[in-house]
Amino acid sequence: MIEPDPLPGVAEVAPGEPPAESSEQGILGYVVGLVLASGLTAVSFYITRGNLFWSPSISTALIVLAIAQMGIHLVFFLHITSGPDGTNTVLALAFGVLIVFLIIAGSLWIMANLNHNMLPMDRIMNMQR
Amino acid sequence: MSATVTADQRLSQAKRITVGYGFWIFLLSDIVMFACFFATYAVLVGATDGGPDGRQLFHLDGVAIETACLLASSFTCGLASMAAGNRNAITFYVAMAMTLGLGAVFLGMEATEFLSMAARGAGPTRSAFLSAFFALVGCHGVHVGVGLLWLMTMVAQVYAKGFRADILRRLLCFTLFWHALDIIWVALFTVVYLIGVAP
């Protein structure tokens, strides 16, 4: 006899939990994540040292590689997916990313603006005399 | 899950989801706190006050080894969580011991780097850039240290109490915490070390 569902509509997988599957598939997921993350890390270190790339483009490339690697970690290590079980987790993550973006971009913007509008330091020193 | 699970198992799984989700919210708030440190660092990175800058201070070889250690420890931590799910005690202890070792190597290398910088007169009091650097990287290091203490506690709990449902819930939280630390380190080695020495 099948028991009635005590909590209908509750998701079946906790955040960070591997989806129910065989352990070979589970380990394969971690191995794929490790290989992809190592590859992205190696590329990041390589383009920093080498003279292969046009130097002003390197920092942008590094940030893109880092964001890609964080995505790899989220999918293969933390098992954050866009499936129906993960809706709340993904929504919380999206809100977190929004706050992080506002803090970093907002701080850089407002501090650059203040810096731009500030008198040069030697003139401030003269005014205080 | 098959359709024949009991109501008890169903409730236990529901509790596991609630605990995991709550800890996920905490981790996101921790990441927001790190974002404040990152913003501070990005604003102050040029404020060296005539002192040394990142290009003179950072050695990428050590950072590469630290990164490899933390990435490998994230992998072994995942293996440990799978072993716990399969109630495989030997694999669990071995994977947790490897995670502990790799984390300890990371922490030791970071401490050595901090001490050698301070010995060269580039301590946190030298310039605003170095204050922001030590605050950001040190905060991550403190998290790793706390994570290692938590890891040892979890091994002791599994040893003393076995793979009980409540222990497995704590283990789920620890796994989330350790993977989140690795994600923060990805942002950290890119923004601080690689962009700091990039031409």
Where do the domains of chain A lie?
Answer: 22-79, 82-129
Residue B109 falls within a domain, yes or no? yes
pLDDT in tens, A90-126: 999 999 999 999 999 999 999 999 988 887 777 777 8
Residue type, A59: S
Q: Give yes or no for residue A1 having a pLDDT over 70.
A: no
Residue type, A105: A
pLDDT in tens, B127-140: 999 999 999 999 99
Residue B21 falls within a domain, yes or no? no
Q: How far apart are CA B28 and CA B24, in angstroms?
A: 6
Domain count, chain B: 1
**pLDDT > 90 fraction of chain A, expressed in percent and rounded:** 46
Residue B13 falls within a domain, yes or no? no
| ipTM for the assembly | 0.88
B120, two tokens: 């060269």
CATH of the domain at B149: 1.20.120.80
Residue B18 falls within a domain, yes or no? no
Q: Using CB atoms within 10 Å of the CB of residue B122, give its burial: 0 to 12 exposed, 13 to 18 middle, 19+ buried.
A: buried
Cα of B121 to nearest chain A Cα, Å: 26
Residue B127 falls within a domain, yes or no? yes
pLDDT in tens, B158-191: 999 999 999 999 999 999 999 999 999 999 999 9
Q: Does the beta-carbon distance from A100 to B32 stay under 8 Å?
A: yes
pLDDT for A11 equals 52
A48 vs B72, B176, B194: nearest CB: B194
Q: Which of residues 63-122 of A touch B (CB under 8 A)?
A: 63, 65-66, 69-70, 73-74, 77-78, 88-89, 92-93, 95-96, 99-100, 103-104, 106-108, 111
Q: Look up the domain containing B77 and give its range.
A: 26-197
Q: Does the beta-carbon distance from A14 to B7 stay under 8 Å?
A: no
Residue from A55, A106, A113, A96 nearest B40 by CA: A106
